[in-house]
Amino acid sequence: QGEQKDPHEKMHEGCSVKKVIGVVSGKGGVGKSMVTALSAIAANRNGLKTGILDADITGPSIPKMFGIHEKAEVSNMGLLPASTPTEMEIMSLNLLTDNETDPVIWRGPVIAGAVTQFWTDVIWGDLDVMFIDMPPGTGDVPLTIFQSIPVDGIIIVTSPQELVSMIVEKAMKMAQMMNIPILGMVENMSYLQCPDCGKKVEVFGPSSADAIGAEYGIPVIAKLPIDPKLAMLSDAGRIEFHENKEMDAMVDVLAEMGLD
């Protein structure tokens, strides 16, 4: 009977990551990549050496948010992640394809294999924390990724448009199967704040995050407004320059994991 190898050791030689956080959602378009980016920015601003592994390979949007359009460089050691202006490390399939607008039409197992290689073959260096932008849903592909990368905790992204309890239950089942703790949930597009009077309008109906969080014992890390400025900065590849107060509580989550 072979001794179980610490999966962290499967990283490229000389590289290490203290904690890995997976960001999941029930479906696409709720802002999972946005929350991944803002969480990583909060960690980075708090002085942690931060990386993002873009595993949402069918819609890799992370590089664009950070204004990265060049292909990843290859050194004689292996594949190098891209660095953002504030020195975060990023790897995404979009940094490898010839044309960043090419669609990826791979099947599940190939996607999971590529993502696993992002873990094993990229020269990440020494990171304090890595955020993984997971493929949407709780199907085979995210499951395989969770089995091949040592994820220390999961963040669930929801929006008020969804059947939040169902998504939370599915994510909890997946987390239990993998024996990974759920660190909290983030409700995105929670409300819109009137720029004139400051009133909060619940565009998609009242938030259920607090009630569902309490019911399942999952802390609500943040409720993010629909923010046209944020969307603009993100589209312009300047998301790092967004003032990111809404995600401040992420720092407490990291501290609880022993990162501060």
Measured from the CB of residue 187, what is the shortest distance to ligand ADP in angstroms? 10
Applying CB under 6 A, what is the total number of residues that bind ligand ADP?
18
100 is a contact residue toward ligand ADP (CB under 6 A): no
The Cα–Cα gap between 59 and 53 comes to 13
244 is a contact residue toward ligand ADP (CB under 6 A): no
- Determine if residue 153 is labeled as part of a ligand binding site: no
Among 189, 212, 250, 251, binds ligand ADP (CB under 6 A): 189
Length of the chain: 260
Given the complex with ligand ADP, which of 10 and 229 has the nearer CB atom? 229
Given the complex with ligand ADP, which of 73 and 248 has the nearer CB atom? 248
Applying the rule CB under 6 A, the residues between 23 and 42 that interact with ligand ADP are: 25, 28-34
Identity (one letter) of the amino acid at 41?
Answer: I
Q: Which residue has the tokens 């107060």?
A: 245
Measured from the CB of residue 38, what is the shortest distance to ligand ADP in angstroms? 9
Under DSSP, the state recorded for 133 is E
Q: Which three-class secondary structure state does DSSP give residue 28?
A: coil
| Residues whose CB falls within 8 Å of the CB of residue 155, separated by 6 or more in sequence, listed in order | 21, 22, 23, 24, 35, 39, 182, 183, 184, 185, 186, 221
The alpha carbons of the chain give a radius of gyration, in whole angstroms, of: 18
The site for ligand ADP (CB under 6 A) is made up of 25, 28-34, 59, 61, 188-189, 224, 226-227, 230-231, 234
Going by the annotation, the residues of the binding site for ATP are 26-33
